[in-house]
Amino acid sequence: MEGGVGGIGGSAAAMSTGEQWCNAAAVVGATVMKKRKEIRIDESAETIPHFFGFVVFDNLLLFRVVGVVVVGSSAIASGRRFLSATIQLVLTHRANLKSPWSRRRRKRGLYSQQWNALFSPDGKLQDEVKFLKKVRSGGVEPRIRAKVWPFLLGVYGLNSSEADRIAVETQKREEFVKLRHLCAQLSGHSVKAYKKSRKMDSDSDGEGDGVTEVPYSPISDYISSSRQSLSIEGTSPGITGIDGHSSQSIFIGGGSPADASSDQSVSQPILTKGEKSGHSIVSCANSAFREEDKSGIIHADASTVDTNPSDTDSSVEAPDCMHNYSETAISDVVDHYANIDPLKWDSFRSFTSHHTAEDYVAWQRIIRLDALRANAEWVPYSSSQVAVSEDKACYFADSVGLKDYEHLEPYRTYHAARLVAILEAYAIYDSEVGYCQGMSDLLSPIVAVMEDDNEAFWCFVGFMRKARHNFRLDEVGIKRQLNIVSKIIRYKDAHLYRHLEKLQAEDCFFVYRMVVVMLRRELSFEQTLCLWEVMWADQAAIQAGIGKSAWGRTRLQAPPTDDLLLYAVAACILRKRKLITEKYSSMDEILRECNSLAGHLDVWRLLDDAHELVVTLHDKL
């Protein structure tokens, strides 16, 4: 699938133009590659219409544009811009696919102008119904996604003013940094990050790529925090030494100090040294929590920090707060976290007592494995992240204890490191769920869209509020979901349902993957995001209590539902009813059909079907 996209370079400006959205929207999975064609276009006032004309023309010929790659840009200085773009077209028979150029989508999505117009002078969303309506009917224009998603995912309230959001942002940033701190402490990889960062400081003095010049990012923050905490001596016995030994002795309580000096034990979480040490880590963290007062070095009372953010400008505030933070010991980190959200901390503690410590270690391990093999479908949509330097990528990877990434391109390494940082933090934040495979599928697009780890983390938290049930150990959530899909099919198509019963497949297990990773494996990157946006808008509408009447007589008569995804999944199956009832005589065959849907679905058709199902069935369910 990635083969359809030859490569990417060129200017970020080009990526953020309206045309580019259309271009990007057309980058979908190529199924039947027939013929390749290269076309050079000089961008000027005259050629843009030609460009569009060309595309429409192609479209009429039932071809599909699957890749648009900007390979070079130049000469902005003269005021006349020549953008030399090579458009690599992979022409395919469209067959029964609906074009992603669907007029419907282009008309109805939320565009940046509309988005900007929605805000009052004090930064309040003035018409939340209009906002959600737009998103529900056509998704969000890619270049404003990073701004819109925090609203859709409940990071910011729909009624929040700009001031509210700054306060929320500051507080959330604090909390995320603390979570990261806890992760780093539990893993012990901060030691290596420290060493590496020192090396980089001396190596890259005056170079543009120095980590210190990276725009504000929590990753660099928690790195610098661990760096500082390691360099300040005497704040807490045992944790402050800059050598691996004393740091480690904190964590594994009596483990072999020799382990710390080997590279492996540092880059691989120390916890993996066995169950025994894993247990002592947790008990150590717990005892740190219990003995919070004894440490006597609490610099920043969490409640003070939370309620009175001393700096409002987050880009300035960060180092300051990090400074406070850096001087605290692990007990304070734990303490901070406990104060911020006692409920969450309770669950963390219950996780440490109910589960074995091996679980967190296992999560760390699997997170890294999955991060390294995250796919790169996001690449055409995130040019700035693609441009990350190798030094920076390696630095971030080392800082989260990622290894074996040498075979990856820098942007993939960087992406993987960010996935690790956020997933680890999430595993502590929501220890009941921890980490389950599939979660990286959900996070990867968020990381691609959100440049800032903190924002990405909280968007992910918002996403997971509903999605987390799919990943629970007790499987209650996923069973409930499959049961709803089953019901939708039963109400809509009794004949198909009876056939499924005959095959003992009425539990709809065959849609398991579709539900768990929310059609991410079946849809292209862009189409997945559109589906999710529509789904999030539904959930946001319900959250905000926007009732049925608010939607009026639009095409979207379907009231918002929490289960839009399930209707969409059911719609996939219902589309295959003829095949299933006439040709398939075992559950295996249906499963295989479902597993091979990738590249054969059109999200807008699917959503149309899903909305239709919602209209007819939501009362029954």
Partner 1 sequence: MASYGDEEHCQDYLFKIVLIGDSAVGKSNLLARFARNEFYPNSKSTIGVEFQTQKMNIDGKEIKAQIWDTAGQERFRAVTSAYYRGAVGALVVYDISRRQTFDSIGRWLNELHTHSDMNVVTILVGNKTDLTDAREVTTDEGKTLAEAQGLFFMETSALDSSNVKAAFETVVKEIYSILTRKVRLSQEHKKHEVASLGNGKTVIIHGDTGETDGGSRSWCCA
Q: Which is nearer to partner 1, 130 or 576 (CB)?
A: 576
Strand 35-42 relative to strand 84-91, pairing: antiparallel
Q: How far is the CB of 576 from partner 1 (least distance, A)?
A: 18
Here's the x/- map for partner 1, 595-614, by CB under 8 A: it reads as x-------------------
Quick note: the x/- pattern for partner 1 over 571-600, rule CB under 8 A, is -----------------x--xx--x-----
Copy the structure tokens of residue 466: 């509903």
Kindly write out the interface string for residues 105-144 of this chain, putting x where it contacts partner 1 by CB under 8 A and - elsewhere.
----------------------------------------
Element (H, E) at 39: strand 35-42
Q: Which residues contact 570 (CB under 8 A, 6 or more apart)?
A: 485, 488, 489, 492, 610, 613
Hunting for tokens 């003035």 — which residue is that? 126
Among 250-258, 365-373, 424-432, 599-607, which window interacts with partner 1 (CB under 8 A)?
365-373
Contact between 438 and partner 1 by CB under 8 A: the answer reads yes
Does 94 sit near partner 1 (CB under 8 A)? no
- For helices 525-543 and 128-138, the axis angle rounded to 10 degrees is 150
Distance, CA of 27 to CA of 100 (rounded, Å): 9
Considering only residues 199 to 258 of the shown chain, the ones binding partner 1 according to CB under 8 A are none
CA–CA separation, 78 vs 99, rounded Å? Answer: 38
Closest CA to 20 of 51, 45, 47: 51
Closest distance to partner 1 from the beta carbon of 93 (Å): 23
Identified binder of partner 1 from the candidate list 297, 473, 494, 579, rule CB under 8 A: 473
The dihedral through the CA atoms of 590, 591, 594, 596 has a sign that is negative
Question: Which residue number, 373 or 502, has a Cβ lying nearer to partner 1?
Answer: 373
Contact mark string toward partner 1, 405..434, x via CB under 8 A: --x---------------------------
Shortest separation between residue 592's beta carbon and partner 1, angstroms: 7
Distance separating alpha carbons of residues 34 and 440, to the nearest angstrom: 33
Which stretch of DSSP H or E encloses residue 38? strand 35-42
The nearer residue to partner 1, 200 or 393, going by C-beta atoms, is: 393
Which x/- pattern, by CB under 8 A, does the window 263-302 give for partner 1? ---------x------------------------------
Q: Which of 8, 1, 5 is nearest to 29 (CA)?
A: 1
Please select the residue that binds partner 1; options are 513, 525, 528, 580, rule is CB under 8 A. 513
d(CA 192, CA 373): 23
Question: CA 23 → CA 8, 118, 186, 313, distances in Å?
Answer: 13, 26, 44, 36
Residue 365 or 618: which CB sits closer to partner 1?
Answer: 365
Tell me the β-bridge partners of 74. Answer: 82
- Tokens representing 245? 């030994």
SS3 618: coil
Among 512, 525, 532, 584, binds partner 1 (CB under 8 A): 512
Task: Candidates 375, 389, 483, 581: give the one binding partner 1 (CB under 8 A).
Answer: 375
Listed residue (289, 291, 428, 292) closest to 357, CA to CA: 428
Nearer to partner 1 by Cβ, of 466 and 513: the residue is 513
* Distance from C-alpha of 507 to C-alpha of 346, rounded to nearest angstrom: 35
Q: Exactly one of 128, 292, 370, 452 binds partner 1 (CB under 8 A); which one?
A: 370
List residues binding partner 1 (CB under 8 A): 272, 362, 365-366, 369-370, 372-376, 407, 436-438, 440-441, 471, 473, 475, 509, 512-513, 516-517, 521, 588, 591-592, 595
